Amino acid sequence: MFKQLGIYTAVGFVALVLLLSACSEENTESQTDVSPDLENAVETAGAEEAPEVIKPHKGLDQEVTPLKMERDGSDVYIKMTAQITDIDIDDGDTYKAWTFNGEAPGPLVVVNEGDTIHFTLDNMDPAIPHSMDFHAVHTAPDKGYADVEPNEDGTFVYQASNPGVFMYHCGTDPVLSHIANGMHGVIIVQPDDGYPTDDEVDQEYVLIQNEWYQYNDLDNMTNEEPSQVVFSTKALHDGQPNTNGTVGALLDEPLEANVGDKVRFYINNVGPNELSSFHVIGTLFDDVYIDGNPANHQEGMQTVGLPASGGAVVEFTVKEAGTYKFVTHQFNHVQKGAVGKLIVTE
């Protein structure tokens, strides 16, 4: 309590110093007049506020665990892990992420409409509980999304009765910490009768938008702008790239198509906080299925709005060779990394 008060007092001092210096641009004396005590307070505030790796996570970097999935008729048995794994989120910026299976976003899950999911979460985190909230299912959340304690596992059963491109995330309190630290991903529930445009599609990819904040800093996650906003892709077909949410990931490993192709993106904005205004520069979407449900068919859209956790299937035709960048049209987020490219060749 007193320690917290100390931090707030120190933060207050910092704010005061900043305010004073801003208010008196020409009066540089006021900056040089800062007393040694105040300088110490500034340093202390910086040190106290430094984002912290929680103790049992220090030095922990658990290897990526492949997703396990087996099918028996319409019963699918999915096993995933909660684990602590270093993720490169930017050049020289490694984040000791809380993850599913060591990826952030977590691995892509694809099931069919009507499947019964038997889901097991193996919590390899030695310190804190985790859980799984699939947006694709109906369940009593206190049971179906219940916490799994450290070094234990839990199994949950539910049905994927709606088609779509859904978010999944850890739902353990505080949810914001768990999502923003990396515990999010996408589950695609393939529609029974497919999409009306299935026959027209030549290339299809999965894209996910997410944000990063200061490390494990709930106050920053709650009150501040994201440090990075990024796109990643998850391999839907063999040979496709599979990336984490790293700045530049889809500039370094661009998606590919040929002139005349109809391209489909399964997209989801896993947030946790920001909206996405998804747009592909140089084309517009012939067909859009909001949340990936064939019933939500729209045509001729320039930009598709994705609320936090919202998904869509978007389809467009590339008529000329070139480099087509995809962005969120909230360009402040492009400055923070939310851009990738599709290279179209003859």
Pick 124 or 183: Cβ nearer Cu ion: 183
Q: Give the number of residues written for the chain.
A: 346
The reply on whether position 183 binds Cu ion by CB under 5 A is yes
The reply on whether position 170 binds Cu ion by CB under 5 A is yes
Pick 51 or 114: Cβ nearer Cu ion: 51
The owner of tokens 């894209």 is 207
CB of 132 to Cu ion, least distance (A): 9
Report d(CA 229, CA 157) in Å as an integer: 33
Report d(CA 127, CA 241) in Å as an integer: 32
CB of 295 to Cu ion, least distance (A): 32
Pick 172 or 232: Cβ nearer Cu ion: 172
Point out which span in 123-131, 190-198, 227-235, 300-308 binds Cu ion (CB under 5 A): 123-131
Determine contact, residues 226/89, Cβ cutoff 8 Å: no
The reply on whether position 318 binds Cu ion by CB under 5 A is no
The owner of tokens 């709606």 is 162
CB of 242 to Cu ion, least distance (A): 22
CB of 171 to Cu ion, least distance (A): 8
- H-helix segments, the chain: 2-23, 29-32, 36-49, 141-144, 175-180, 218-223, 249-252, 331-335
The reply on whether position 184 binds Cu ion by CB under 5 A is no
Pick 13 or 213: Cβ nearer Cu ion: 213
CB of 131 to Cu ion, least distance (A): 6
> Tokens standing for 164?
């779509």
CB of 79 to Cu ion, least distance (A): 16
User: Which amino acid would we find at residue 275?
Assistant: L
CB of 130 to Cu ion, least distance (A): 3
The reply on whether position 130 binds Cu ion by CB under 5 A is yes
The reply on whether position 249 binds Cu ion by CB under 5 A is no
- H-helix segments, 101-252: 141-144, 175-180, 218-223, 249-252
Q: Which of 62, 172, 203, 216 binds Cu ion (CB under 5 A)?
A: 172
Residue nearest to Cu ion (CB): 170
Strand 184-190 relative to strand 109-112: parallel, antiparallel, unpaired?
parallel
Considering only residues 88-117, where is the footprint of Cu ion by CB under 5 A?
Answer: none
What is the total count of residues that contact Cu ion (CB under 5 A)? 5
Q: Residue 304: exposed, middle, or buried by beta-carbon count in 10 A (0-12, 13-18, 19+)?
A: buried
Backbone angles phi, psi at 286, to 5 degrees: -65, -45
Report d(CA 50, CA 214) in Å as an integer: 9
CB of 39 to Cu ion, least distance (A): 39
The reply on whether position 178 binds Cu ion by CB under 5 A is yes
> Tokens standing for 287?
């067909």
Considering only residues 30-49, where is the footprint of Cu ion by CB under 5 A?
Answer: none
Q: How far is CA 317 from CA 262, 263, 302, in A?
A: 4, 6, 13
**Contact positions toward Cu ion, by CB under 5 A?**
130, 170, 172, 178, 183
